[in-house]
Chain A
Amino acid sequence: MEGWIFERMRRIRTEIEKMFEEFEEAMLRPLADMTHGYLTPLYEVRETEREVIVYVDLPGVYRKEDIDVSVSENKLVVEARMARPVCFGEIPFYESCRFERYYLEIRLPTPVIPERASASFKGKVLEIRLPKRITRYRVKVE
């Protein structure tokens, strides 16, 4: 019995530590990938009772045809091409780098139904609506 509890606590602690590591890594990681020459866009995830809604800021992207969105049950990937390459001047970290596209890959907070996802692009913000995969059970109130 005790062994079972300790094992469960160990798993929870490992999960929490992993979340903190991911968060710290995301904070320290630049919003650009020099190796592959892409920028990471800013994004926001909102949840309603039935949907996960992801907003992605894509300044510099002019046409919806330049945006690719792919969704699986737990993951969203957005790729977009900018109309003009962006340079960040003489800042050493960015020097000699030109960026022409965005790439974003995020883990979704809850499973979704990929085939029912929809997307729109307005004011350089991409809105992706993802219906949640919800299994409901009616609970009898005694």
Chain B
Amino acid sequence: MSTSGPKKWEYFELKPLPENLTLIVGIPDVGLVGPIAVTYLIKNLKLELAGYVDSPLLPPVILFHDYQLLTPVRVYGPTDVGEKVAVFFSESAIPPSGLYSLAQFIVTWAASKRVKRLVMVGGVAVPNRMQIEKPKVYVATALEEDRELAKKSGLKLLREGFMGGAYAMLLKECFKRRFPGIALLAESHLHYPDPGAAAAVLEALEPLLGIKVDVAPLLEQEEEIRVKLRELMKRTVESMRGAGKEYEYTIPAMYV
């Protein structure tokens, strides 16, 4: 399946996904919070590879895991019919020129698969992250119904300010198409992989969606993750230039 217009993004199905799933999205951004959180979730919920996404806008790379060829952007689905979660995951940084069309593609594709809601997991960079023991999680939503859901869960809603990058594009697309979408953004390091922030967004899944994730093993692996994801972090920081992230420190004129 592809979006209308030029085939910028295409989905290749390996296994059909059940309907009415919550699609958790993890795309490299500040602190690599999304990829760290969703890879942990894939292992924790024992999700299976369901398909992959390709585009000429992606870096020309593939990867191998346990001898198996993998493409960097993949979808994982439930093994158990009772499970209601799937994951959309990118293992490579998305160039800024691809963010808009990727967001359009994800929402179109999710609607065609009758996904119930998108939940994006990521970070919001804070300069004093070193002093923060337990990162706060902010919720940004596209629709009123999602705001209500977030309010009931007791999570802190993002009230004001610019948002940039992949999740900003996704929320905008959700807003335009009236598609349910929620971004969970934990206070995070900007330049360093941040498993602590990833644990915080995973913990926020419980009050929001009733998905309980034991994050203790993730926190035990924190230092190893920080050492091993340095290269991906470097590529991601580079790709964040021009992705609108710098706007997040800007005060909107309307609120002055």
Expressed in whole angstroms, the minimum distance between the Cβ of B228 and any Cβ of chain A is 7
Given A57-B192, A59-B222, residue A41 in contact with residue B228 (CB < 8 A): no
Query: Which of the candidate stretches A7-15, A66-74, A119-127, A131-139 sits at the interface with the other chain?
Result: A119-127
Q: How large is the interface on B (under 10, 10 to 19, 20 to 34, 35 or more residues)?
A: 10 to 19
Given A60-B223, A127-B130, residue A42 in contact with residue B228 (CB < 8 A): no
User: Bound complex: CA of A44 vs CA of B230, how far in Å?
Assistant: 13
Given A27-B238, A59-B222, residue A44 in contact with residue B227 (CB < 8 A): no
Q: Mark B158-192, 1 if CB is under 8 A from A, else 0.
A: 00000000000000000000000000000001111
Which residues from 108 to 125 on chain A have a C-beta closer than 8 Å to any C-beta of chain B? 122-125
Chain B interface main SS type: helix
User: Bound complex: CA of A83 vs CA of B154, how far in Å?
Assistant: 40
Decide if A20 is an interface residue (CB 8 Å cutoff).
no
Q: Are B130 and A57 in contact (CB under 8 A)?
A: no
Given A30-B231, A127-B130, residue A57 in contact with residue B190 (CB < 8 A): no
Q: Are B223 and A42 in contact (CB under 8 A)?
A: no
Q: Are B226 and A57 in contact (CB under 8 A)?
A: yes
Expressed in whole angstroms, the minimum distance between the Cβ of B139 and any Cβ of chain A is 25
Q: Are A125 and B130 in contact (CB under 8 A)?
A: yes
A residues in contact (CB < 8 Å) with B: 27, 30-31, 39-44, 55, 57, 59-60, 86, 88, 122-125, 127
